[in-house]
Amino acid sequence: MKVLIIEDERSMALEMEAFLKRSFYICDLAFTARQGLEKMEESQYDFILLDLGLPDIDGLQLLQAARKNCPDASCIILSARGQLEDRIKGLDLGADDYLPKPFSLLELQSRMQAVARRKFGLREDTVPLGDFRVDLHKRLVFFEETEIELSRKEFDLLSYMLLHKNRPLTRMQLGEHIWGNFADDDYDSNYIDVHIKNIRKKLSAFSSVEWLQTLRSIGYKIKL
């Protein structure tokens, strides 16, 4: 998943970035509200982690822009401003959660996972997929009791499509959310197609993967 961290304390922003990258998130950084706005105009995100105490624009104003520019993103406010009024206003403006500073990075990750479960209607981390089971937290795929080995990018691709099941996803959407800024890569590359082919080959050795559909001239979709 792709995350935008908007935080003017550089050391904290870099610490969050390093931690989330170890958990297989793709991260972009913005140290001012204006930088954050530029990032949101250029890309779509799965998560926006937003500090309220930014030097140029109030974080609550930026939250309103985030809800407009990245309507599908989940927003978590990170702030030393612990007043109840700020928390209520942030949630009223569309934030999905509010985490007061200082906070544990493990708690941040846990909050992000909880927000994702609510967003996608998941009661637990293990999700059925045809005759398979996908453990989103442990990053594992099973057929019955057999673990199927996928590469990091294959799992990222499969899990992202599963979370957005029944929704057509273009190759560019998939590339941007799995690799970061897809525009930096070769538009003619067949990275997505190769990974989809590998996923099909590995899973179809155990059971049918008819739910993984190719949409001609568009991209792919998991239909359940």
pLDDT at 84: 74
Q: What is the pLDDT of residue 92?
A: 87
Last residue of a domain, one of 101, 119, 137: 119
Note the pLDDT of residue 188: 44
pLDDT at 186: 46
Dihedral pair phi/psi, residue 94, rounded to 5°: 115, 5
DSSP state of 184: G
4 phi and psi, to 5 degrees? -105, 120
- Which of 119, 140, 175 finishes a domain? 119
> What value does the mean pLDDT take over residues 6-18?
96
- CA–CA distance, 202 with 50 (Å, rounded to integer): 39
Amino acid identity for residue 16 in this structure: M
Q: What's the total number of domains in the chain?
A: 2
> Cβ-count burial of 53 within 10 angstroms (0-12 exposed, 13-18 middle, 19+ buried)?
middle
Mean pLDDT of 141-150: 96
Claim to verify: residue 101 and residue 207 sit in the same structural domain = no
Number of Cβ within a 10 Å radius of residue 23:
12
CA distance 43 to 126: 29
Is 112 exposed, middle or buried, given 0-12, 13-18 or 19+ CB atoms closer than 10 A? buried
- Read off the pTM: 0.84
Q: What is the CATH number of the domain that holds 59?
A: 3.40.50.2300
Q: Output the domain CATH number for residue 218.
A: 1.10.10.10
191-195: which pairs have CB atoms within 8 A and are 24 or more residues apart? 192/157, 192/219, 192/220, 195/151, 195/153, 195/154, 195/157
Domain that holds residue 39: 2-119
Residues 110 and 130 in one domain: no
Query: Which residues share a beta bridge with 66?
Result: none
Same domain for 102 and 25: yes
Q: Are residues 158 and 81 in the same domain?
A: no
pLDDT band (50, 70, 90) for residue 181: low
What's the token pair of residue 126?
């293990």
**Do 141 and 95 share a structural domain?**
no
